[in-house]
């Protein structure tokens, strides 16, 4: 079945926001974008959960989007995090992302204030009425405190500029319902569930582990798309310890930043209330990276 949002199929990497001495490290951010272009990443997504958007100021949030769009320069797609628990703020950020050249907006369900299902619909409807940038919904009730139900997602998906969803409930039942009820392009929001989600009709992933092994994640997706299930399974089982041991060590993005520090690609700095890995956790992380072959 043809879906909306085919342009966002494949590998989207949820970019970390690099810090140096607690300031956004723009040089490192530009270098990251160039690296993903070289690696063949399909799309990058700045200032989402992995990009520590909750601790960025409004100015920093916009600056990160602008820098990524400028550095991408059409060489890789950019889906900017523009969600908020304030509809007005979401409109403002989405308009900004459109102005600086983003290809789409990743819009998390409004968090903390726990809207009704009608509230979710009206939130996205209000944004689409003010902006015509393609929107990727982002449903992650573990962080937002409220699930967008499949029927609500299908209803929101009827809005013309809503084209895809980052499915982060961890529920294959919910993903199945979304696939049955809507024409949205479904992307996994959990690295360990990418292959199962592809089997349900998903078209890719918004990946955290793609910050360090984008080619391997893309190889898994490509193998599945080509009908080579055994090859896709081989990649899944190779990637699984990274997804489980590395990403499961602590709250995202603490472990991925720790891994990038060990690999010499980031300072590893996070902003409070996030704290870095303990010495014991870092040793476990190093063991996982070594077993994978990255060290």
- Domain with residue 52: its CATH number is 3.20.20.70
Residue 46 pLDDT more than 80? yes
Average pLDDT in the chain: 97
Q: How far apart are CA 138 and CA 148, in angstroms?
A: 9
Q: Report if residue 81 sits inside a domain.
A: yes
Q: Report if residue 100 sits inside a domain.
A: yes
The stretch 109-116 carries a mean pLDDT of 97
- What contacts 56, CB < 8 A, 6 or more positions away? 17, 24, 47, 64
- What contacts 204, CB < 8 A, 6 or more positions away? 8, 9, 10, 11, 12, 42, 185, 187, 188, 194, 198, 221
1-44: per-residue pLDDT in tens? 557 999 999 999 999 999 999 999 999 999 999 999 999 999 99
Task: Find how far residue 282's CA is from the centre of its chain.
Answer: 24
Q: Which residues are catalytic?
A: 138, 166
Q: How far apart are CA 123 and CA 103, in angstroms?
A: 21
pLDDT value at position 174?
A: 98
Alpha helix stretches (DSSP H) within the chain: 26-39, 58-72, 87-99, 117-130, 141-144, 150-156, 172-181, 194-199, 214-225, 229-241, 254-262, 279-292
pLDDT value at position 246?
A: 81
- What contacts 230, CB < 8 A, 6 or more positions away? none
Q: Report if residue 287 sits inside a domain.
A: no
- Torsions phi, psi for 220 (to 5 deg): -65, -45
Q: Which residues pair with 137 in a beta bridge?
A: 107, 165
Q: Report if residue 249 sits inside a domain.
A: no
Please name the helix (run of DSSP H) or strand (run of DSSP E) that holds residue 188, with its range, or none: strand 185-188
Q: Report if residue 99 sits inside a domain.
A: yes
239-293: per-residue pLDDT in tens? 999 999 888 999 999 999 999 999 999 999 999 999 999 999 999 999 999 999 9
Q: Report if residue 262 sits inside a domain.
A: no
Q: Report if residue 233 sits inside a domain.
A: no
Q: 193: burial class by Cβ within 10 Å (0-12, 13-18, 19+)?
A: buried
Q: How far apart are CA 239 and CA 245, in angstroms?
A: 10
pLDDT band at 211 (very low <50, low <70, confident <90, very high): very high
Beta carbons of 214 and 194 less than 8 angstroms apart: no
Orientation angle between helical segments 117-130 and 87-99, nearest 10 degrees: 30
Residue range(s) defining the domain that contains residue 18: 6-228
User: What is the count of structural domains for the chain?
Assistant: 1
pLDDT value at position 2?
A: 59
What's this model's pTM, rounded to 2 decimal places? 0.97
pLDDT value at position 63?
A: 98
49-58: per-residue pLDDT in tens? 999 999 999 9
The stretch 126-149 carries a mean pLDDT of 97
Q: Report if residue 247 sits inside a domain.
A: no
213-238: per-residue pLDDT in tens? 999 999 999 999 999 999 999 999 99
CB atoms within 10 A of CB 97: 29
């Amino acid at each position: 079945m043809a879906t909306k949002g085919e342009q966002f199929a494949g590998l989207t990497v949820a970019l970390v926001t690099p810090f140096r001495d607690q300031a956004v490290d723009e040089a490192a951010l530009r270098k990251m974008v160039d690296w993903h272009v070289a690696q063949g990443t399909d799309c990058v997504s700045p200032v989402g959960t992995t990009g520590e958007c909750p601790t960025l100021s409004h100015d920093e949030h916009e600056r990160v989007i602008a820098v990524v769009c400028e550095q991408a320069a059409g060489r890789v797609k950019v889906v900017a995090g523009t969600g908020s628990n304030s509809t007005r703020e979401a409109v403002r950020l989405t308009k900004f992302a459109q102005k600086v050249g983003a290809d789409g907006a990743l819009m998390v369900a409004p968090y903390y204030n726990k809207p009704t299902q009608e509230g979710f619909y009206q939130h996205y409807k209000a944004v689409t009425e003010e902006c015509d940038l393609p929107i990727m919904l982002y449903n992650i009730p573990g962080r937002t405190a409220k699930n967008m139900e499949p029927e609500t997602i299908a209803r929101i998906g009827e809005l013309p500029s809503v084209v895809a969803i980052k499915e982060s409930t961890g529920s294959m039942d919910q993903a199945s319902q979304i696939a049955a009820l809507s024409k949205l392009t479904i992307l996994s929001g959990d690295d360990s569930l990418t292959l199962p989600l592809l089997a349900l009709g998903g078209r890719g992933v918004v990946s955290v582990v793609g910050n360090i092994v984008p080619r391997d994640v893309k190889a898994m997706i490509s193998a599945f798309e080509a009908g080579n299930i055994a090859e896709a399974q081989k990649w899944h089982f190779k990637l699984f310890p990274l997804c489980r041991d590395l990403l499961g060590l602590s709250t995202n993005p603490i472990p991925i930043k720790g891994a990038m520090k060990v690999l010499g690609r980031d300072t590893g700095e996070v902003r409070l209330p996030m704290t870095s890995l303990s010495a014991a956790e870092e040793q476990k992380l190093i063991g996982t990276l070594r077993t994978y072959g990255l060290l």
